[in-house]
Amino acid sequence: MPSTMEINVHHVTRVEGHGNIAIRATDGTIEKVEWQVPEAPRFFEAMVRGRSYEDIQTIVSRICGICSITHSLASLKAVENALDIEVSEQTDKLRILTHYSEQLQSHSLHVGYLVSPDLVGKKSVVGMLGEFGDAVKTVIRIHRVANEWSDLLAGRTTHPVRLKPGGFSKLPTEGELRELKGMLEKGVDDLKALAEVVLSVADALPDFQRETEYIALIHPGVYTFYHGSIGSTDTAELVPISEFERVVNEYVVPQSTAKWTKWHRDAYAVGALARFNVNAEHLLPLAKATAAKFGLEKGNTNPYMNNVAQLVECVHVVEASLQIIDELLTDGIKPEVPKVSPKAGEGAGCVEAPRGILFHRYAFEKNGICTGANISIPTNQNHGNIQKDFEALVPQIMDRDQDEIRLLLEMLVRSYDPCISCSTHYLDVKFI
Amino acid sequence: MAVSKMSDVVVIGLGNPFMSDDGVGVEIIHRLAAQSSRFPDVEFLDLGSAVHGVLHVVSGKKRVILIDCGFMDAEPGTMRRFTLDEVITKKEVSGLSFHEADLFSILELSRRLNELPANTIIYAIQPQSVAFGDTMSPELIQQLPHYVERIMADLE
């Protein structure tokens, strides 16, 4: 009798859009190793055609309920690039401050709600409440601070309403910024506590290495999420955002309806570990110390460590934000009215989403109506790399129990913090 | 519709206006917010697809109303009002991404933290279609005034 091992993580849902894991082996011979992504195509590129440049950021903010500020900012940078709109230094700083709130929102949720249960052997964050109740409450406090931070600057905790071409529709007051500063200073202790808890269970992160190309924004002297050019661990070349298509090189594979990407190798990775591997020397002191506690060093090629890099970034964005708030308070908040007039043009914009580099491109006719769009999301850029990780990891763990193999592969996917099936959150209920 | 910490009652619309009928909760919350002068002590929040945010905005409230699109084996356009204990969730999530969270898991977390008000009500509207698109189905559009009236009656 041949011994067959088959793993299928495949869920039937009302709306297509999940990633599936499919592994099959007979008598120790691997016959199939696939990361399948039947993601429903994102129709947002079509949705913005025919709309005014003023409405783009509002529409694309609904692509995702987690990275809505990020999509808004990438689109605003692309619109401003297309229409030659200059923004002030104050707007720049306030946008970066807003963007950091979303990095903290997203990373704290991902590490706290989705990754931590794996590390402590629980099925979900609800299951952690008894034994790890204090840690869960710490995560919730951090996420709550991040939400209030977004609300204060963007006018909503998600799907921002104050980010506009050229600036903000409403500016925060200096009093609000001082209040935010107090909140963030208190939050530092919670972040330190969370880091200690994760460190105490970090041995549960699998030790798996695979040489990988990492891609992230690079900007002189800064651990950047907002400004810069496209950089890679495989080259010293810096590619301008306007040429992002020659970095992503999107292509189609039979196992996925999402487009995959590659640059110097057959796949590349984006996200917190990519940013760390490209920019670690620019982390602020407490973030650097947090990375050192985990032994995370530049050049790390263990994808599971992306979660540790996310934790490091949580610390960094709070430190960086405290600096920005001080600068804004020193200069004083000056009233500004964005000055924008439509014209024909085309432009690209890029920011680092929590889960990796994100590109938007739009074209406009002279009245500012959008005629075309192209959006390249980080999760799609990671799909090819997840497949390559699977191909390298499965032979190394073939002798393990089938449930353990399944868990290790699920943890691998989770470590990339993928944005799948996030456009909708309908209920599905049965009355009892 | 920014977060206010003063009111005891919060009404939350969930969904995505660019996923056709999935956006019904958001459409209703905007129509309710337009009448907010009639309800000075009520907070109306469009949380969109940010289901995890529910955990924070219900904390400290006395009364919560959630409005969302929901598959309930009913005729498209049907709105039902229920409590958490009257339903079980059938939603399958792969667990591979926290973007696909089920509202009920967030409400359960809130309840276990003793943060969920006992007076928490869900209004769900059965969709005709949940697919990319910025227009809802006629079955839902024609009943929007009815949905809004019924929820307002609950608030009065």
Confidence of residue A2 (pLDDT cuts 50, 70, 90): low
| A151/B2 touch (CB, cutoff 8 Å), yes or no | yes
* Residue B139: count of CB within 10 angstroms of its CB: 17
Residues with Cβ < 8 Å from A357, sequence gap 6 or more?
A: A215, A216, A217, A230, A270, A274, A350, A351, A378, A381
- Cross-chain residue pair B16–A157, CB shorter than 8 Å: no
Across-strand partners of A291? none
Structure confidence at residue A43 as a pLDDT band (50, 70, 90): confident
Output the average pLDDT for chain B. Answer: 91
Q: Taking CB atoms and an 8 Å limit, are A9 and B96 in contact across chains?
A: yes
A157 compared with A167, residue with greater pLDDT: A167
Alpha carbon distance A170, B89 (integer Å): 40
Does the distance separating the beta carbons of A110 and B3 come in below 8 Å? no
Q: Which of A11-15, A16-20, A144-148, A209-213 has the lowest mean pLDDT?
A: A11-15
What are residue A370's phi and psi, to 5 degrees?
-75, 130
List the single best residue of B49, B73, B107 to mutate versus A (max A Cβ within 10 A): B49
Separation of alpha carbons A149 and A223, rounded Å = 21
Report the pLDDT averaged over residues A133-150: 96
A119/chain B closest Cα distance in angstroms? 15
- Within A267-404, strands assigned E span 345-353, 356-364, 370-376
Higher pLDDT pick, A175 / B132? A175
**Closest partner residue to A410 among B72, B96, B127, by Cβ?**
B96
* A38's tokens: 């039947």
- Residue that wins the pLDDT comparison between A427 and A142: A142
Domain edges within chain B:
9-155
ipTM greater than cut 0.90: yes
Q: Which CATH class is domain A44-415?
A: mainly alpha
Of A347, A191, A217, A193, nearest to A272 (Cα)?
A: A217
Spatial distance between the Cα atoms of A413 and A431, rounded to a whole number of angstroms: 34
- Comparing CA positions, the residue from A70, A27, A1, A7 lying closest to residue A350 is A70
- For residue A410, the chain B residues in CB contact (below 8 A) are 95-96
Q: Measure in Å the smallest separation between the Cα of B69 and chain A Cα atoms.
A: 5
- Average pLDDT value for residue range B77-98: 85
The closest CB to that of B124, out of A109, A157, A427, belongs to A427
d(CA A180, CA A146): 10
* CB contact at 8 A, A325 and A333: no
Q: Inspect the interface and report whether the beta carbons of B100 and A422 lie closer than 8 Å.
A: yes
Provide the pLDDT for residue B89. 84
> In this predicted structure, what is the pLDDT of residue A38?
67
Lowest mean pLDDT among A329-338, A345-354, A417-426: A417-426
Residue A423 pLDDT: 47
What mean pLDDT do residues B53-82 have? 96
Q: How many CB pairs under 8 A join A and B?
A: 199
Q: Collect all residues with Cβ–Cβ distance below 8 Å to B42 and sequence separation of at least 6.
A: B7, B9, B10, B11, B36, B155
Over 70: is that where the pLDDT of B129 sits? yes
pLDDT exceeds 70 at position A303: yes
Higher-confidence position of A17 and B12: B12
Domain at B9-155, CATH from 1.10.10.10, 3.30.750.80, 3.40.50.300, 3.40.50.1450: 3.40.50.1450
Looking at residue A381, its pLDDT comes to 93
Element (H, E) at A29: strand A29-36
- Give the distance from residue A53's alpha carbon to the nearest chain B alpha carbon, in angstroms: 18
- Asked whether B59 and B5 are in contact (CB, 8 A), the reply is no
Which chain A residue is nearest to residue B57, measuring alpha carbons? Answer: A144
Average pLDDT over residues A374-397: 93
A325, pLDDT greater than 60: yes
Residues A197 and A225: their CA atoms lie apart, in Å, by 26
pLDDT confidence bin for B99, thresholds 50/70/90: low
As a whole number, mean pLDDT of residues B71-80 equals 96
Residue-wise burial string across A401-415, b where 16 or more C-beta atoms lie within 10 A, e elsewhere:
eeeebbebbbbbbbb
pTM score, whole prediction = 0.94
Q: Residue A36's pLDDT is what?
A: 83
Q: Where are the domains of chain A?
A: 44-415
Q: Considering only the beta carbons, identify the residue of B53, B87, B105 that sits closest to A430.
A: B87
The pLDDT value given to residue A41: 54
pLDDT value of position A162: 96
**Which of B47, B68, B109 faces A158 most closely, judged by CB atoms?**
B47
pLDDT tens-digit readout, A59-70: 999 888 889 999
pLDDT at B44 over 50: yes
Residue A77 near residue A351, CB atoms below 8 Å: yes
Per DSSP, the three-state class of B59 is: coil
Cβ–Cβ of A431/B3 closer than 8 Å?
no
Residue A76: the pLDDT is: 98
Q: How confident is the model at residue A1 (pLDDT cuts 50, 70, 90)?
A: low
CA gap A268, A233 in Å, rounded: 10
Per-residue confidence (pLDDT) for residue A226, from 0 to 100: 98
With b meaning 16 or more CB within 10 Å and e meaning fewer, what string describes B32-66?
bbeeeeebeebbbbbbbbbbbbbbbbbbebebbbb
Chain B neighbors of A11, CB-CB under 8 A: 92-94
Average of per-residue pLDDT across B57-78:
96
pLDDT score at B2:
43
pLDDT reported for residue A421: 56
**High-pLDDT (> 90) share of chain A, %:** 77
In Å, how far are A3, A183, A409 from A28, measured between CA atoms? 8, 55, 17
Residue in chain B nearest A414 by alpha carbon: B96
Cβ contact A47–B22 (<8 Å): no
Q: Is the pLDDT higher at A244 or at A254?
A: A244
